[in-house]
Structure 1
Amino acid sequence: MTSSSKPLAVYGATGHTGAFVVAEARRRRLPVVAVGRDISSVPAGVTARTAAIDDPAALDRAFADCAVVINCAGPFLDTAAPIVEAALRAGCAYLDVTAEQASALSTFEQFDERARAAGVAVIPAAGFYGGLADLLASALIGSRSVDEVTIAVALDHWWPTKGTRNTGERNRAPRVVIKNGNLVPMATPATKTDWTFESPHGVQAMEETPLSEIITISRHLHVCNVSAYLNIASLDELRDDATPVPAAIDIDGRSAQQFVMEVVARDGAHSSRAVARGQDIYAVTAPLVVEAAARILQPSFHRSGALALGEAFDPENFLRSFKPEHMTFGLNII
C-alpha cells in the first residue's frame, strides 16, 4: 500500500512535460523527487537524483523511498518497460503519459499480472492523449455497451516539443482502431472528414489519427467501434520541420495553444457527447497525471494491476477535480 508521506518520483523531470509535472506536484505541496539522466536544470528546493534509463541500479536508488513513479520521458517504446520494472522492484505505482499505442499496449500486456501480484497500480497513457479521452468516454458510457465512439481533437496550433519529434521518428508501429470489438489495423490511406466544433475552432478538416486512447478504451469499455481524429491544420504543423517549439506566454509556462476534445458515443438512435477545452496539451497533462498520483497516495485507494485512467478512478469525479484555468468539460448524456 502506498503512503502519502512518500514522495512522487518524476522521471524525465527536466523535459518539457516533466517540468510541468514537477511544478504541479509542488503547487499541490506533494513531495517530489526529480529523476533523469541530466538534472542540472531542476528547480532549487527540489530533491534531484541522477539515473539513466539503462542503469537499473541507479533507477533502484532513485525510486527506493518513493510511492509513485511518473514517467515523462519518451519515446515510451524505449523507456516504459525499464521504468515499470524499476517501479515494481521498489514497490511503487507507475504512471506515464504516452501517446504511443504500441507502448501502452505493451505495458498492459506485460505488467498487469505482475502489478496485481505486487499490489500496485500501473497506469499508462495518463496524459492528454490516452487518458483524457478515456476519462470522457468512461464518464459517458459507464458500464453500458455502445455501438460507436468517435473522438475528435482540434488544436489551433501544434508547436511540437523535441520529445514529440523524437517519438514520431521512433514510433513506426502501425496504428490500430477498434472495429467489431477488436483491435485491428487502421485502414490506409487515413480517413478524412469534417467536424464542426464550437468557436473558436469552428469547422475543421480532420484526419483519422488514433493514439493511445484506442488502447485504454479497449481495455475496459464495451464499445464495438472506436475511431479518433485530429484536425489536419495541426497535423500539418507537426509534420513541418520548421514549426517552432512551444513558447511560454504566462507565468505557468504555458503556450498560447488552445485545444478542444469531443467524445461522441452512439447507441442506435441515441448519442451522448463529452467536451473538454483548455490551453496547452503539454501543460494540461500535468494536472491529469498528478491528480492520478495524488489519488493513488490516498489510503482508500486499493486498485492494482495495469489499469486505464477511467478504470482506476471514478471518471466524472476525476474530471470535476480540475480547476477552470486548467480545463473545462461538459457532459450531455442521453
Structure 2
Amino acid sequence: MKPPLIAVYGANGHTGRLVATELLSRGQEIVLAGRDAEALRSLADELNAPDRVRTHPAALDDPPALRELAESAAVLIHCAGPFTHTCEPIATAAVAAGCHYIDHAIEPHPVKYLFDTVQAPAQQAGIVMIPQMSFYGALADLLAAAVADGLPGVDRVTVGYSVTGWRMTPAAVKTAELLIGEIDRVTYADGAQRVGPVEIRNTVFPFPPPLGPRTMIAPFPSGEVVTIPRHVPARVVESQLTASTFEEEQIFTSQDATPADRARTNFMIAVQITAPGGGGRNGHVRGSDIWWVGALASVEAAIRLTRGEGPQKTGVLSAAEAFPAEPFLRRMEELGAFTLSL
C-alpha cells in the first residue's frame, strides 16, 4: 500500500525544500505546492523521485486551487511565511477539504487566529491542526509540558532562546520586520491572555553551562505564549531571545545564503518553571541548524498523523496537546535534532 500523500505548501522556500527532502527520505509521496509552477517543476526535477513527487501550483488568492490541493492530501504542511498574511487562506482550504494541517508559523497572531476562529470548524471537519510545529514554538511548547509534568503548581514559565549564526530567508526577514514593528502584541500574564502595547526590556536568563547567564530581549514574540497556557496552568508565560542574536551582522543580510551556510546555526532552548511557593524545574535542548530541526518536527508530526498516531481529539491543538511531550522530544533526539536534558 502506498503511503498517504503529504502536501508541502511553500515548497520552493528553504524550509519547504527541507521538509520535502525529509519526507522523501522517509518513503513518503508528496505534492509540491506554491505560486510558481516553473519553480515547482524545477524542484521536482532536482529531487529526482518522479514516482513519488507531483506538483500543484496554487496562489494564495485562488481558493479553488488551494481547495483542490488540500483535497489531494492527507496532511498539508504549510511553510510559506509570513504567516500573518498566508495562514488564513491555507487553513481555510484545509478545513474545507477535511485535510490535517501543520504550519511553521512563529508570529503569535496567526496562531491565536487559528485557536480563536478555526477551532470549531476544524473539530466539525474531524481534522487536527497544529500551528507553529517548528523550531520556534513547538519545541518550547513540548519542553514546557515535559518540565511541568507532575508539578503540583506552576507560577511562571519562562522560555529562553539562545541562537547564533541565524541567517534569515527573505520570508523570515519580512516576518521579523512585521514583528519588530508590531504595536499590539500577544502576552500572557496574571492568568490571562492580552493583546496590546508592551514595553520591550532587557533581562538576564540563566542558561545552563556552557552558555551561562545571557542578556535577553523580552518578551520575544513567539506563538508559544498562546499555546503553553492551554496545557500548563501558569500565571505568567514569557519567551525571551538572546540580545546578541540580532547584533550579528549576517542575520538580516543573508537572504541569498546557501543551504550550507543556513545550517551553521547553534541553539539552546531552555525552559524555567517556577512554582507558586518557590522552587521549580528546568529543562533544555541544545543543537544546531534551526531550519532542519524545524522541518524535522513538522515531518515527524505529519507522518504520525497519517499513521493514526495522533491525538484522540480533533481541532486546533498545540504540539504538546497533539503528542505526548517527552516521547516526542526523545524521538527528535534519536533522529539527531538535539540533545535533551530534563
* TM-score for the superposition, normalised by structure 2: 0.88
Give 1:174's aligned residue: 184
What's the offset of the Cα at 1:239? 9.5
Partner of 1:304: 314
Structure 1 stretches of at least 4 aligned residues deviating more than 4 Å after TM superposition: 185-188, 238-241, 243-246
SS in 2 for 1:303: coil
Shift of the alpha carbon at 1:238? 7.9
Stretch of structure 1 that moved more, 269-278 or 184-193 = 184-193
Query: Is 2:70 aligned against 1:72?
Result: no
Closer, same or farther: CA 220–197 of 1 in aligned 2, 3 Å: closer
> When the two structures are superposed, what TM-score results if normalisation uses the length of structure 1?
0.90
AA paired with 2:264?
A: A
Please list the CA deviations of residues 261-312 of structure 1 after superposition, one character each: whole Å capped at 9, or x if unmatched: 0001110222111101111211110111111111111235333011000011
1:63 corresponds to 2:73: no
SS at match of 1:205: strand
Alignment of 1:119 with 2:126, yes or no, is yes
Q: Secondary structure at the match of 1:263?
A: strand
The equivalent of 1:41 in structure 2 is 42
Partners of 2:18 and 2:292 within 8 A in 1: yes
**For the residues of structure 2 that align with 1:180 and 1:305, how far apart are their CA atoms?**
27
Match of 2:115 among 100, 108, 115: 108
For residue 213 of structure 1, the aligned residue among 194, 199, 224 is: 224
**Which secondary structure state, in structure 2, belongs to the residue aligned with residue 74 of structure 1?**
coil
User: Percent identity among equivalent residues?
Assistant: 34
In the alignment, does 2:30 pair up with 1:32? Answer: yes
1:190 equivalent in structure 2: 200
Instruction: Work out the number of aligned pairs and report it.
Output: 326
**Aligned partners of 2:148, 2:206: CA distance in 1, in Å?**
22
**Per-residue deviation, residues 222-263 of structure 1 (Å, max 9, x unmatched):** 1111111101111233896445654433xxx85211000000
For the Cα contact (< 8 Å) 2:159–2:239, is it kept in 1? yes
Q: CA deviation at 1:200?
A: 5.0
Separation (CA, whole Å) in 1 of partners of 2:256 and 2:289: 12
Higher mean C-alpha displacement, 28-37 vs 167-176 = 167-176
Contact 2:263 2:290 in 1 (8 A): no
- Residue 131 in structure 1 maps to residue 142 in structure 2: no
Residue type at the aligned position of 2:216: M
The alpha carbon displacement at 1:329 in A equals: 1.0
Give 1:269-280 correspondences, 5 Å limit: 269-280=278-289
Separation of aligned partners in 2, 1:93 and 1:30: 16
Moved more, 168-177 or 145-154: 168-177
Per the TM alignment, residue 26 of structure 1 is displaced from its structure 2 partner at its CA by 1.1
Question: Pick from 274, 283, 286: which aligns with 2:292?
Answer: 283
Q: Secondary structure at the residue paired with 1:214?
A: helix
> Residue 6 of structure 1: CA displacement?
1.9
Specify the SS of the correspondent of 2:136: helix
CA pair 145-119 structure 1, distance change in 2 beyond 3 A = farther
Greater helix proportion: 2
Contact 1:207 1:231 in 2 (8 A): yes
Change (3 A) 1:79 1:282: same
Alignment partners' CA distance in 2, 1:181 and 1:255: 38
1:315 aligns with 2:325: yes
The Cα of 1:122 is off from its aligned counterpart by 1.0
8 Å CA contact 1:150–1:228 kept in 2: the answer is yes
Classify the secondary structure of the residue corresponding to 1:129: coil
Over residues 124-147 of structure 1, what are the superposed CA-to-partner deviations in whole Å (9 max), with x where a residue is unaligned? 111111111000001112375400
Shift of 1:214: 0.4
Matches within 5 A, 1:229-248: 229-237=240-248, 241-242=252-253, 246-248=257-259
